[in-house]
Structure 1
Amino acid sequence: MQIDTEAIVCGVRGHGEHGTIVRMLSPDHGMVAAYVRGGRGRRVRPILIPGNTVSAQLRWRTENQLPQATVELVQSRAPILSEPLPSAGIDWVTSLVTAALPERQPYPRLYQAMGGLLDAIEAAPSAIGWSSALVRFEQLLVAEVGYARPETDFIEGQSPAGWSEILAALNRSSRQLFGELLTGRVEALQDSRSRLLDRLARAAR
């Protein structure tokens, strides 16, 4: 079997001496894990940065086999990872999606929303320009995976009044995400969320 798809890199871990296992969110096949030969090498490692968009070719012989993938860079978001707030935003979003979504179940609306959010994080001159989009993305994720109605009440296309409303909505979203959606060992996710909220709170002062 073979799939050619665009995808957003969400999670990367080493496997073997030179390879990596990459989890990518694609529009038509959902979250897909694949082995990338040479993923820790000088040429491929910069491509496999969480938040980057890639063109991926996945091949496998049986449905239960881990696919092997080759990747080419479509859009790099590495330049903004040196900035503390955008870096925290991208780290949280990619970590959340990696933890929350099942394998190979398509979520095309979530894929489009994630791409739009990452573009906003990259392009907005300040965090207030993308933080409301983050709230709506979390709201969509909760709805897409079939849990209770999101606790936030942002309406698509409308911006909140300001920082106080944004931070209150993110705190409500945190309680729902960690109380209902995310289970098991979530210490790293909690650290990522706390880091993001702390930096947003400092930006709001």
Structure 2
Amino acid sequence: MEWHDDAIVLSVRQHGESGTILEALTRTHGRHMGLVRGGRKMKPVLQPGNSIRLQWRARLQEHLGNFACELDTARAGALMESREALAGLNAFTSVASATLPERGPLYEPVFVASTILLDAMLEDGLAHWGAIYVRWEAGLLEALGFGLDLSSCAATGETEDLVYVSPKSGRAVSAAAGAPYAGRLFPLPQFLLGSQNEVGADDIAAGLALTGHFLFERVLRPTGKPMPSARLRLDSLAGHQDGESK
């Protein structure tokens, strides 16, 4: 069996004397793993965040199979030069690895959004790409069948003045309906509703808290997995920036 695909490197680990096991997020084959023979010699290519072209071969579909790969877009070096970009890269790879089932359904929208996110991380700091990261996690939840419903108020059906999200239902709540329970609801960052207003550090921190909650409660905890430490570090970094902005 054989296929070719676009992919993003998520992780690599040593296998034998010269090989590596590559974990990649592919455009049309989901999160996939395979053996790269002589992979240690390809270390500059097989760096998390790099885009590559993959060829996968195996005798049977269920086998690990062998990868042949070539570099498409090198990002890893530039991302590692920035503390914020490195934190974002580590959060992205760890969340994708922990939540996406291996060889699961096709998640092409997640792959496309991942490419956009990684390219954004090359341009500027967390203030620039933080909202894109939150949208990526919201899209990931949608792809996994746990999308947030921000279209109308869960209590009244209203579509205006939506400022909260219920931690139980994942549905939006209006300011009036949510006022008595504000301490138990998540703030709803307006950029998730398509607002064109400037996104502040507090909006990014609130967005990360929101999507992180549902990733953990609906995807990770039911399978006995913790929230990846790299994702928690991104929370901490965003919270620190939020504190500095006040």
SS in 1 for 2:21: strand
For 2:86, give the aligned amino acid.
S
For 1:197, give the aligned amino acid.
D
Q: 1:67 to 1:157 in 2, by over 3 A?
A: farther
Deviates more, 1:52-61 or 1:147-156: 147-156
Report if aligned partners of 1:85, 1:200 keep a CA contact under 8 Å in 2: no
CA shift at 1:97, angstroms? 0.8
Report if aligned partners of 2:6, 2:51 keep a CA contact under 8 Å in 1: yes
Q: Does 1:134 align with 2:133?
A: yes
Q: Which of structures 1 and 2 has the bigger CA Rg? A: 2
TM-score by length of 2: 0.75
For 2:68, give the aligned amino acid.
T
Q: Measure, in 2, the Cα distance between the counterparts of 1:177 and 1:5.
A: 27
Map Cα deviations across residues 12-58 of structure 1 (whole Å, 9 max, x no partner).
222222211111111111111110112223xx011111111001111
* RMSD, aligned α-carbons: 1.9
1:71-150 mapped onto 2 (5 Å cutoff):
71-77=69-75, 78-104=77-103, 105-123=105-123, 125-149=124-148
Q: 1:142 to 1:20 in 2, by over 3 A?
A: same
Deviates more, 1:26-35 or 1:150-159: 150-159
Structure 1 unpaired stretches of 5+: none
CA shift at 1:126, angstroms? 2.5
For 1:173, give the aligned amino acid.
T
2:226 aligned residue: 186
For 2:233, give the aligned amino acid.
R
Corresponding pairs, count: 200
Q: Whose RCO is larger (CA < 8 A, sep 6+)?
A: 1
Q: 1:69 to 1:202 in 2, by over 3 A?
A: same
CA shift at 1:156, angstroms? 5.2
SS in 2 for 1:91: helix
Q: Measure, in 2, the Cα distance between the counterparts of 1:50 and 1:161.
A: 28
1:48 aligned residue: 46
Report if aligned partners of 1:132, 1:159 keep a CA contact under 8 Å in 2: no
CA shift at 1:200, angstroms? 2.4
Structure 2 unpaired stretches of 5+: 150-169, 171-187
TM-score by length of 1: 0.89
Q: Measure, in 1, the Cα distance between the counterparts of 2:6 and 2:194.
A: 25
Q: What fraction of aligned residue pairs are identical, expressed as a percent?
A: 33
For 1:131, give the aligned amino acid.
G
Map Cα deviations across residues 44-95 of structure 1 (whole Å, 9 max, x no partner).
0111111110011111110111110111111111222131110010111111
CA shift at 1:10, angstroms? 1.1
1:7 aligned residue: 7
